[in-house]
A and B are shown apart, each in its own frame.
Chain A
Amino acid sequence: MRLRSTIAALAVSAVLPAATAHATDLEVMHWWTSGGEAAAVGEFAKAFDATGNKWVDAAFAGPGEQARAIMVSRITGGDPMGAFQFNHGRQAEDLIEAGLLRDLTDIAEAEGWKEKVNPPSLLDGCTVDGRIYCTPVNIHSWQWLWLSHKAYEDAGVPVPTNWDEFVAAAPALREKGILPMAVGQQSWQQSGLFNVLMSSLVPVEIFNKVYGDKDAEVAAGPEVARVFKAAADAREMSEGSTVQSWNEATNLVITGKAGGQIMGDWAQGEFSVADQKAGTEYSCLPGLGVTEVLGTGGDAFYFPVLDDEEKSAAQAELAALLLKPDVQVAFNLKKGSLPVRGDIDMSTANDCMQKGLKLLSENKLVPDTNQLLTPDTTSQINDLFAEFFADASITPEDAQERFAEIIASAD
């Protein structure tokens, strides 16, 4: 599969320069480098090249945080690229305030984004003072529990259908030397896991109050205490999980060495690359099988302000193109994410994606933490959970107290 797409990409890049002699080159930076991601971004490149322009791919192989640091320093350093990927939300807030990013409101109005983008809250993540600054391209939700059928068969217990059963089954897995829960040792995965527990195990209002209104009292309250208890369970279940990156952890689930993993829907791609079938070889439980809600995080493209007129025109073309129905379908099927338009046909999507689409159509949604918190607060929460998961001597109560302090100082 991967070889074939590489050959295809090579063939395309060999043909294009001749075909588009007067094309405008537009450098696009992103951090989509895993197999499925690269194939998905290739769909954008193909569609953009078809307009007579040229997509100059600048992929950053590394975690998003590092990629964002490099993009920001290029923009603030006066060497902006044509377009770049961010998670829509508050990550670009300061760049917009400083007037470094292009206002896309005209394009959005001409293309009717307001009517087409679904859920509408996605566009809110791109809007500052009534102006639109980014193009959301997909929806990624964190709230998934991936379970390995093989691991539970080996342990002789039924595959759990919700979080409580998942916790209860842990000792049986331990006995057989199977890791009950795989967690990569990177702080964003650990705090992400906590946020999933928060949105799934207690009523959604709690999530909104803590992260949306920054209500420190609720953050120190009894509901959040329950979430911290669950996080302590997760810490116990993941003891002995030494892998680093999320896909290594997913691989433990695929091979049956671990019972399950809480990870966003991007893990889906790894299962399909391994040719596993949802329902028979693995299960996916949105909202941990407790409260079925999905976060509306995702990726968006931003466009720095450029002096070059030709390039600005190419930017406008690209911005409009990203939301075209056929481009959306092609991209999201490869990426394993949900499209940002409700009016397109996604019937070829697999079981897990269908579950997601259903929740999306029922509007069972929570905002993503990236939309509510500044990167600063996110970093503080990441640090807290890096410590919490590595050190079993930190009690849930202590951690909750520090969590409430972070929420109190958040803006």
Chain B
Amino acid sequence: MASGRPNQLFRNKTAKIAAIPMILTAMVVFIGGTGWTVVYSFTKSKLLPKLEWVGLDQYERLWNTNRWIVSIENLAVYGLSMLVLSFVIGFLLAALMDQKIRFENTFRTIMLYPFALSFIVTGLVWQWLLNPEFGIQGIVRDLGWENFAFDPLYNADLAIFGVMLAALWQGSGLVMVLMLAGLRGIDEEIWKAARIDGIPTWKTYLFIIIPMLRPVFITALVLITSGIIRVYDLVVAQTSGGPGLATEMPAKYVYDYMFRAQNLGQAFAASTMMLLAVLVVVVPWAMMEFGGRKND
């Protein structure tokens, strides 16, 4: 083994051979597929991919399409408020749960249960709950409040928040459980020390506990953002993009143009824009997170 020149490439051979299938899959499926999509976004492919170049035409059309621009605005509104509210609600629930309450197991189960449901089921359940005739509004009116109005899904200005309500209901439990696990990992001694120093509980949470929970926050951030980007199915089940374009999402635009409008070129241009948007956020973050390490 020791004879011959040491060669970096052949060190640890078995492990490298074992990794080949995965490397190939990653190259072909992820990078290859992505590259293929980008290339065909410059063609006028209709139902089937065809290599007829049209330059930037698809992108020009995309950015002149009202529906695409509305979709992006919707995603921004939904994404930002979802991100903030998920963290706030998740953390509050976890902090409350951490007060050594009775029946904690029961509450934890109740809070986490919605996460076991798919987005499709969640969307349908909330479509019914928010239906003005049979849902919450209908029940409250039957109880005697005749003028009670709660029908976000039928109001173009509020529909996106109706979708968010469902997403929060489904996702908050998971954030709570993550945070709770983090909180349980905090040493009791830290709480004792803070108490001796006379620091109020809320300050302890805000300035000591939360900074210590950084890894948990990052995990939660990744889970929540990926949930935001793949919000497609929830929208389809709950509102199918309506009323009007009020809850349209970029992912739905891609799907609709790919399969319904039979215009692959346009769909690929839209998905390339989505990829670009993700890269703009992820690359600087990744460089900060992983690139900086070497200099430590």
Residues of A within 8 A of B (CB): 65-66, 68-69, 72-73, 76, 91, 93-95, 98, 185-186, 242, 244, 374-376, 378-380, 383, 386-387, 389-391, 402, 409
Contacts and interface: CB of A to CB of B under 8 A. Distances in A.
Given A94-B46, A95-B47, A98-B48, A72 B243 contact: no
Interface in B239-267: 240-246, 256-257, 259-263, 266
Interface string B45-66: 0111000000000000100011
B244 A390 contact: yes
Contact of B257 (A73, A91, A379, A389): A379
Contact of B260 (A68, A93, A98, A186): A68
B97 to A, nearest CB: 39
A390 B66 contact: no
Contact of B261 (A93, A185, A378): A378
Nearest to A393: B156
Closest 8 CB pairs of A and B: A390-B244, A94-B47, A69-B259, A379-B261, A390-B243, A376-B263, A376-B261, A375-B262
Interface of B: 46-48, 61, 65-67, 70, 132, 154, 156, 240-246, 256-257, 259-263, 266
A286 B195 CA distance: 81
A242 B154 contact: yes
B244 A387 contact: yes
Contacts of B241: 386
Given A69-B260, A242-B154, A390 B245 contact: yes
A386 B48 CA distance: 27
A74 B76 CA distance: 35
Contacts of A380: 65, 261
Contacts of B240: 186, 244
A66 B67 CA distance: 19
B62 to A, nearest CB: 12
Secondary structure of the B side of the interface? loop
Contacts of B261: 375-376, 378-380
A98 B246 CA distance: 37
A185 B242 contact: yes
Given A95-B47, A390-B156, A379 B260 contact: yes
A70 to B, nearest CB: 8
